[in-house]
Amino acid sequence: MSRSTGRGRSTLAVLAALTTGATAVGGCSGESSASCQPSEIPDHDENTLIIEGDAWSGYAPFRDEGLLDGTGYTAVYVEQICQEVRAADLTAGRADIAVTTLDQYLLQHPEGTLVGIIDQSLGADALALGTANHPELDSIDDLPTLVAQFAEEGDKPVLAYTGSSPSEMLLNELANTTDELRLTDFELVSVDQSATAWEMLQADEAQLAVIWEPDTSAARDAGYTVALSSADVPAAIVDVIVVSDRLIESDPAAVQAVVTSYYSTMDDLLASPAALERFYAEDGGLDAETAGTLIAGIKLYGTGEADVFMNDELFPLDKPQIEQSINSIGSVLALIHPDIPLDQAKIDGGYVISVADGAR
Amino acid sequence: MAPGDGEEPVLTPTPVRRDRRGLRATRAGRFRAPSTPFLLRLGMALACLPVVAFAVAIHVGVERNDSTVRTVGREATRGITVAQALKVELAELDGVVVRSLLGRAPLNTTGFPDDYNAKRAELHDSLVLAALVSSSGSVYEQPLVNIDYVLSHYHALIKDAFAAARDGDIAGASATYGQAHQVMAETLLPEADFLDKANSYVLNDSYDRHTARSASTARLILVSWLAVLAFLVLAQVLVAKRFRRVLNLGLALATVVALVSGALTLNRLDASSDHLTSAREQDFDSVHVLARARATVESARQAQGQFLLGPPAAADAQTDFDHHVSRLLRVQGSNPTDATDFAEASTLPDGAGGYLARVASPGATNPEPESVRQVMVAFGAFLNEDAAMRDLVNSGGLGAATARYMDGQAYGDLNDAINAAQGIEQEAFDDAAGAAADAAAPLDDINLVAAPAILLLALLGLFQRLREYRA
């Protein structure tokens, strides 16, 4: 698994439990907690900022050792796949910044503030059908026929997905917003990563699989059908920058340095598609074409769009998009976490405003 | 009276000497059989355990079943139905605007046509109903709050559009309406869908949990039931052996009550589960799909009207219409004309998709297939009328096309057909959900009587022997 494909974010089993049934995901949450390892944070001086995240491609700029060059600060990226630990580290002050998904910020509610948006998944995560092994299975509309075929033998088609990852969230969102996918029609198999689900699809051990880039592109190239994707449920998977409250209090200049450096990097990359492709290809050890496909499935944010997302009161709800996203994602999470503290989500778009003002 | 009642017990009171011998034997490490009174008292004490476990197991099973039936059979499904009704009202409001603009409807003192105000009032009622029937929680409240808020923007834009039309600025009216429609399509309708999604989450969760644990619930009841029966049979055997009487009336009656109540409980819970499966997996899916189809038809109708409003939005309106039609019915490898033919003939090939395919495919189960066939036929007519209307526009007959649109015969027939089919499916769903509730309804009451009865009868049977023994 190349670096960029890693998306081992901690569990959304709470969401999955809503629809996939206890047998499918009952153990996800517990497994995730059990496998959590403490973060290996190196010794560092007071001008070094600890950024915790996972191997998701969207976080690539934070892995760049030169991110804070010229600001008087340095950044150290600590990989921590466990969301609970990431949030705990932020609260305890072991980490200064966490890059994570919005839903995990709401679920884990660390003592931190949202200061920026990184990206949204718009197709990078997808549901692929095993067309190569079942040539008749080339549309989402063929699922009833497939289900009926298996039912004749007293069986169900297998749907493989990565537990404790955005794949779970995508699966649940798709199951509850589209008519074509009924999870009870399938035997749900939780696997460790997208590559495993993709292998199962190729071996016909699964007839459907939820995968992410670059497996999505590989599946498409190999003649498998990408039937549904995160593009069908926009705003379900949003990556954000969370800064610890204690850093905001003690050293707001450091926060500004990070936000400014990140969006400057993104502005430069977004202005040059070739450089953007190269950057993500190098980060993940991918070829240019795969990197291009990967980027196409993610909406990346530069200064201007991030400013709009964080600060502009968008017609017709007249609220910033970040608030709208918190409300919609949080509302769904609140279905099984009635005590989820949505009103405690903290947003500070001021750092992005400063960057935008500077850019103007 | 039990056979043998009044006879002398076989065993005489235990002499002290035997006790002493027993004591010595115990001290020597040898096993000493427990005395009959001890066994009877022990039996009376232990009788509570299996009976209480049995009663608790039944109560848990019934509670779980009731909770699922309540959520699946009423709350979540009603929430989904209300959400879709709200969506239809919103889409209809948008359609009224188009028709009013096309028909140059007169404005009243509020600046809106009467039809618009009437539909607006209906929508308001639907919003109030949705707020009343929705469960509490931000997931239900947030979309309603958003709809309420955004509607003010929508109304303001529509008022401007009507004012422009009144002043003869048709292009301005069309452009302003375009903005309002964007608000409708990109915010209001998705918010109604969000309400649907929230209820779908709850519905699926409740049903899947029920499916996953129904076997374990049945096992729990079965095991506790068998424990009660085993205890009663054991007690009966023990009493029979020690007292030389075949039957103890109390224990026998307790066994009969336990047998009947356990069998009845398992049977009724199983029946309730079957009814719930039918309600959820067959009937409500059809209700849900038809409700979505109804809202989609309304959006398609709006797109037809917007197409007639004029060139600026005509291309987008055509795209919208095609999109809505494909959500209703699509046939792989076929063009829209084929879809019309399939619809009119009401025969669907494998791989057909869309809402109507879900309810009209060969594998679908309908209480009245004819009602669904009528929907398909009406949909075919709707597509034909649309094609004829567009032909008129292309041949320069915009006025005739508008008149045809305003007449809306095929649209009305399609709506009526969907409403009729949905009503039939809803009735089937209500029947199945009602049967699921009815099947399990008396179980708690029966359990409330049966469990104490089993316990009392068993205790009575054992106590009677103990009293005889003392005598």
Q: How confident is the model at residue B9 (pLDDT cuts 50, 70, 90)?
A: very low
**DSSP letter at A233?**
S
Chain A CB contacts of B352 below 8 Å: 141
In angstroms, rounded to a whole number, what is the distance separating the alpha carbons of residues B42 and B163? 90
Q: Do B351 and A331 touch (CB under 8 A)?
A: no
Amino acid A222: pLDDT: 92
Q: Do A21 and B194 touch (CB under 8 A)?
A: no
A191 vs chain B: nearest CA distance in angstroms? 20
Amino acid A343: pLDDT: 80
Q: Is the pLDDT of residue A32 over 60?
A: no
Mean residue pLDDT across chain A: 86
In contact, B279 and B71? CB cutoff 8 Å: no
Between B24 and B159, whose confidence is greater?
B159
Q: Do B204 and A19 touch (CB under 8 A)?
A: yes
Q: How confident is the model at residue A12 (pLDDT cuts 50, 70, 90)?
A: very low
Question: How long, in residues, is chain B?
Answer: 471
For residue range B113-142, what is the model confidence (pLDDT) as tens digits? 999 999 999 999 999 988 888 777 777 888
Q: Which residues between 63 and 122 in chain A have a beta carbon less than 8 angstroms from any beta carbon of chain B?
A: none
In angstroms, rounded to a whole number, what is the distance separating the alpha carbons of residues B4 and B1? 8
In angstroms, how far is the first alpha carbon of chain A from the final one?
41
In contact, B80 and B288? CB cutoff 8 Å: yes
In angstroms, rounded to a whole number, what is the distance separating the alpha carbons of residues A93 and A40? 14
Q: Do B138 and A184 touch (CB under 8 A)?
A: no
Q: How confident is the model at residue B363 (pLDDT cuts 50, 70, 90)?
A: low
Chain B CB contacts of A317 below 8 Å: 146, 149-150, 187
Query: B355: nearest CA in chain A?
Result: A179
Q: Which of B135, B204, B329 to mutate to test the interface with A (most CBs of A within 10 A)?
A: B204
Smallest Cβ distance to B205: which of A19, A330, A331?
A19
Query: B326: nearest CA in chain A?
Result: A141
Q: Which of A146, A186, A335 to mutate to test the interface with B (most CBs of B within 10 A)?
A: A335
Amino acid B1: pLDDT: 38
Q: Is the pLDDT of residue B443 over 50?
A: yes
Amino acid A81: pLDDT: 81
In contact, B223 and B54? CB cutoff 8 Å: no
What residues pair up with A211 in beta bridges, in sequence order? A126
Q: Among A29-43, A51-65, B82-96, B271-285, which stretch is predicted with the lowest mean pLDDT? A: A29-43
Chain B CB contacts of A342 below 8 Å: 138
A152 vs chain B: nearest CA distance in angstroms? 13
For residue range B46-89, what is the model confidence (pLDDT) as tens digits? 888 999 999 999 999 999 999 889 888 888 888 888 999 999 99
Percent of chain A clearing pLDDT 90 (strictly above): 60
Amino acid B336: pLDDT: 61
In angstroms, rounded to a whole number, what is the distance separating the alpha carbons of residues B390 and B125? 36
Q: Is the pLDDT of residue A241 over 80?
A: yes
Q: Residue B237 contacts by C-beta under 8 Å, 6 or more apart in sequence? A: none
Q: Is the pLDDT of residue B90 over 90?
A: yes
For residue range A295-310, what is the model confidence (pLDDT) as tens digits? 999 999 999 999 999 9
Amino acid B446: pLDDT: 92
Q: How confident is the model at residue B10 (pLDDT cuts 50, 70, 90)?
A: very low
Amino acid B253: pLDDT: 94
Q: How confident is the model at residue A70 (pLDDT cuts 50, 70, 90)?
A: very high
Sheet with A298-300, edge to edge strand ranges: A74-79, A48-53, A97-101, A238-244, A112-121, A298-300
In angstroms, rounded to a whole number, what is the distance separating the alpha carbons of residues B254 and B453? 7
Q: Among A169-178, A241-250, B432-441, which stretch is predicted with the lowest mean pLDDT? A: A169-178
Q: Which two tokens stand for residue B371?
A: 């009602």
Q: Which two tokens stand for residue A77?
A: 């990226």
Q: How confident is the model at residue B15 (pLDDT cuts 50, 70, 90)?
A: very low
Smallest Cβ distance to A317: which of B150, B204, B330?
B150
In contact, A260 and A68? CB cutoff 8 Å: no
Smallest Cβ distance to A179: which of B207, B292, B350?
B292
In angstroms, rounded to a whole number, what is the distance separating the alpha carbons of residues A81 and A54? 5
Q: Do A19 and B213 touch (CB under 8 A)?
A: no
Between B389 and B467, whose confidence is greater?
B389
Q: What is the DSSP string of B102-156?
A: HTTPPP-TTSS-HHHHHHHHHHHHHHHHHHHHSPSSHHHHHHHHHHHHHHHHHHH
Q: Which residues between 269 and 308 in chain B have a beta carbon less than 8 angstroms from any beta carbon of chain A?
A: 281, 288-289, 292
In angstroms, rounded to a whole number, what is the distance separating the alpha carbons of residues B354 and B347? 14
Q: Is the pLDDT of residue B201 over 60?
A: yes
Q: Is the pLDDT of residue B19 over 60?
A: no
Q: Which two tokens stand for residue A281?
A: 């290809």
Q: Do B208 and A177 touch (CB under 8 A)?
A: no
Chain A CB contacts of B205 below 8 Å: 17-19, 335-336
Query: A343: nearest CA in chain B?
Result: B138
Q: Among A21-25, A90-94, B179-183, which stretch is predicted with the lowest mean pLDDT? A: A21-25
Mean residue pLDDT across chain B: 86
**Mean pLDDT of the region A208-223:** 90
B263 vs chain A: nearest CA distance in angstroms? 28
Q: How confident is the model at residue A19 (pLDDT cuts 50, 70, 90)?
A: very low
For residue range A43-54, what is the model confidence (pLDDT) as tens digits? 999 899 999 998
CA distances from A323 to A235, A320, A354 (A): 12, 5, 19
Q: How confident is the model at residue A320 (pLDDT cuts 50, 70, 90)?
A: very high
B136 touches chain A (CB under 8 A): no
Q: Which residues between 140 and 159 in chain B have a beta carbon less than 8 angstroms from any beta carbon of chain A?
A: 142, 146, 149-150, 153-154
**DSSP letter at B279?**
I
Q: Do B208 and A20 touch (CB under 8 A)?
A: yes
Q: Is the pLDDT of residue A273 over 50?
A: yes
Q: Which SS3 state, helix, strand or coil, does residue A360 take?
A: coil
Instruction: Provide φ and ψ at B456, rounded to 5°.
Output: -60, -45
Q: Do A331 and B201 touch (CB under 8 A)?
A: no
Q: How confident is the model at residue A6 (pLDDT cuts 50, 70, 90)?
A: very low
Smallest Cβ distance to B142: which of A316, A327, A336?
A327
